[in-house]
Amino acid sequence: MSITIGRLLSLVGITFLIHSAYSTYQHLSYLNAVDKAESGLPIEIIAECLISVVVSLVGVVLCAGDLKNILMENEMRKQTIDKLDTAPSFITFNHRGRRAVSAHSLLQRRSHMS
């Protein structure tokens, strides 16, 4: 949910930032044309720029998603031995689980097919 809000906010913020940049350019070229150079930017453009920066900042932070725990210890706590002590590329299939499990799954399939 917050990721979509984040995306929306950052889109809006960046649009207004681009808009304020374009208005600055327009204003400066207008000042040039009217020979009134160095008269400073109108307060609206500055305000638009700063506010759009803040909005896009908030939006980008929300886009980043959930934070993870910084302590390695807390991440490791969730790992069981099964998840860590495995060598999946060396897996071999000559164990008796094959017969036991295939019978079990066959029964399951029969029960929900009927």
Residues at the site binding another protein, with contacts judged by CB under 8 A: 72-73, 76-77, 79, 81-94, 97-99, 101-102, 105, 112
DSSP annotation of 34 reads T
Q: How many CB atoms lie within 10 A of CB 41?
A: 14
Least distance (Å) between residue 103 CB and another protein: 9
Distances in Å between the Cα of 39 and the Cα atoms of 19, 29, 35, 85 are 20, 12, 10, 70
Least distance (Å) between residue 70 CB and another protein: 13
Least distance (Å) between residue 59 CB and another protein: 25
Nearer to another protein, 40 or 97 (CB): 97
